[in-house]
Structure 1
Amino acid sequence: MIKVVAVIKVKEGLDREQFLHHWNVEHPAYVRKLPGIRRYRQNPAVEHRKAWPFSGMAELWFDSVEAVKAAYAGPEAEELFAHEHEFLESVEWFLADELEVPLAGEPAAQLAKEA
């Protein structure tokens, strides 16, 4: 599986509640329409006294790089991008493989099975 990993910044002028409503409530409907999507996860940044460089991270799973290309080539992606422009200042992304690394005390063989 291939994963799109996107780090996002909220549009200036939106408070946290507005941002999370756009992202957590409205945006999944657009993501679900992408052809070939297998899984979607949102990771909002935790509120903190420190100003984080990003407002959150999203992960979208697809079967292959070709499936990612197909998903983002259609009208569903255009609708998704239009919605993102309503609440996001920026989106930076990359394609990744996911590799689970065992923690101390876990058998190393587990890594080979999952890779």
Structure 2
Amino acid sequence: MLKVVSLLKRAENISHEEFAKWVVEEHIEFARKLPGLRKYTVSVSNGEDAPYDSVNELYFDDEDARVAAFGSEHGQAAAADAAAHTAQRVHLLTTEHAQL
């Protein structure tokens, strides 16, 4: 299973509260439409001074599924929505090995 960890820093014109509402209520709708997405989690930071405002985790069967999802119409719309609300996005492609 491939996990994409996305670290999001809100745009300067958006408050932490506005960002939190957007990422958990609005942006999640894009994730629901991504083909091949197996699991999606969003964690919002607890303060305005955090280096990132949210950590989003997207799970796919493999790299081909990830590429297909983000290459789709819904994937491109999700990327555009994220770009409109963030100043910085960092994406880490990972393979999860252990869970407690």
TM-score, structure 2 normalization: 0.91
The structural deviation recorded for 1:101 is 6.1
Describe how 1:1-115 pairs up with structure 2 within 5 A: 1-47=1-47, 51-100=49-98
Tell me, what secondary structure is at the counterpart of 1:36? coil
Residues in 2 aligned to 1:27 and 1:77: alpha-carbon distance in whole angstroms: 12
> Which structure has the larger Rg over C-alpha atoms?
1
CA distance in 1, matches of 2:25, 2:54: 15
Displaced runs of 4 or more, over 3 A: none
- CA-based RMSD: 1.4
Write the distance in 1 (CA, Å) between the matches of 2:83 and 2:17: 17
2:12–2:87 CA contact under 8 A, matched in 1: yes
Segments of structure 2 that go 5 or more residues without pairing to the other structure are none
Q: Gapped runs of 5+ residues in structure 1?
A: 103-115
1:61-105 Cα deviation digits (max 9, x unpaired): 000111101111111111101211221111110210112266xxx
TM-score where L is the length of structure 1 = 0.80
AA in 2 matched with 1:65: E
The number of residue pairs the alignment matches comes to 100
Structure (1 or 2) with the greater strand fraction: 2
